[in-house]
Structure 1
């Protein structure tokens, strides 16, 4: 059975493993392919990146030789920006556009003037940990674990710096549908989420879910159902059979 590939980009500080459970939950026609970033997980020995453009192109070059259409991109927070950049990078390399881009939990590229300021300006480890607390996604037990935080903080610092430095480039808009997910108690405002509409000439939608920044874990079943429902439409358009 021909599958539709879903490339999944992790949020700041995370590895591709945050999407490992999705493989067991989503239907067989949807192939979940978490994308590991340098400096974490299986790529821990590689240098961390602080510039999103070169990172997106590096990942696109790695994916391009084996990536077969149809495919879609999903990213949460930092991963949403990176997913958008990878879509453009793959197009530059000659790949077809994704059938859909899912941008979750972050302001649109053109509406980030103040969004990342607190994280990018955090100087000390204590300031960085305090910024983490505002996201309500890391337990105090983990934040107090010095050994674990010694491993995690350099990754977070690089990721937050990458977000803070990010500047969208002038280029042709995507043509694929863009589907946005937001948390009702998250930092991203409705206006900032709606700004993703400016990234495509294709269709656009916004779904709001209860919860804060990590609503994708709090309401994982609903997030996956929304992804499956959207992609099943694109899957049928490519004449591919769908099974539960």
Structure 2
């Protein structure tokens, strides 16, 4: 069985490329189900399931990106040691793909795979986030200054959700615990200013994303000694919702170029 951190949605061919996907703040592994359906069987899409949501709702959330990255890197390293689907060959190194908070977490996981496990990923795809060390354009204060209502409102603006939905007590009760914990993790994140990866980095972003300044998005190039590319799509922070064909094609191209 796979570690509880990693979810698989569709069967993959042998040997398939592997894409390990990291959700946004408040999100879950199932966000990447449409991408898996579109890329299978050529790419095996794996979703990281953070504690404190969906089938891991009973587990306490982890409010530290470093601790999360430690756990996920260990799970990914163990997963990579297994045999590929329908073959006796080792699994190929994955490409890591993260959106928003997931982009920072994918970067930190890539660092650990390279530095601790001597198993750098084949590539890194980051979406909807400025590089470590640059503050995203949030309208929120520090962790201690931010109220739950402000976090929900920021999420609503980025996500384009009807305010009436988030006013529903039951829906808020489902969304808020994971969102609050993830916000604390992002607010307390302190990156290593000297960290650089040896794998290529691909940046994807929405042209109307209020969270990401275009110039800041280009600064991801300084965090790799390998190739770099940047592509912008129509839409806001959640331009990739449902994974439209052009977004899916870009992710597939980055996965096969890595």
TM-score, reference length from structure 2: 0.84
Return the alpha-carbon distance in structure 2 between the equivalents of residues 115 and 167 of structure 1.
17
Residue 228 of structure 1: aligned partner: 252
**CA RMSD, 1 decimal:** 1.8
The alignment status of 1:166 with 2:166, answered yes or no, reads no
Return the alpha-carbon distance in structure 2 between the equivalents of residues 156 and 211 of structure 1.
22
Relative to its length, the structure with more helix (as a share) is 1
The alignment status of 1:10 with 2:23, answered yes or no, reads yes
Gaps of 5+ in 2: 1-13, 81-90
Q: CA distance change for structure 1 residues 61 and 218 in 2, over 3 Å: closer, same or farther?
A: closer
Residue 210 of structure 1: aligned partner: 234
How much does 1:65 deviate? 1.1
Kindly report which structure 2 residues correspond to 1:25-64, keeping only aligned pairs within 5 A, or say none: 25-64=38-77
Residue 198 of structure 2: aligned partner: 175
Residue 81 of structure 1: aligned partner: 104
How much does 1:138 deviate? 2.3
| Segments ≥4 residues shifted beyond 6 Å | none
Aligned residues: 233
1:137 to 153, 157, 160: 160
Gaps of 5+ in 1: 235-244
How much does 1:226 deviate? 0.4
Residue 36 of structure 2: aligned partner: 23
Q: Which range moved further: 13-22 or 216-225?
A: 216-225
Q: Which range moved further: 166-175 or 209-218?
A: 166-175
SS at match of 1:106: coil
Q: CA distance change for structure 1 residues 40 and 219 in 2, over 3 Å: closer, same or farther?
A: closer
Return the alpha-carbon distance in structure 2 between the equivalents of residues 154 and 139 of structure 1.
19
Return the alpha-carbon distance in structure 2 between the equivalents of residues 198 and 226 of structure 1.
21
Q: Which range moved further: 63-72 or 186-195?
A: 63-72
Q: CA distance change for structure 1 residues 139 and 154 in 2, over 3 Å: closer, same or farther?
A: same
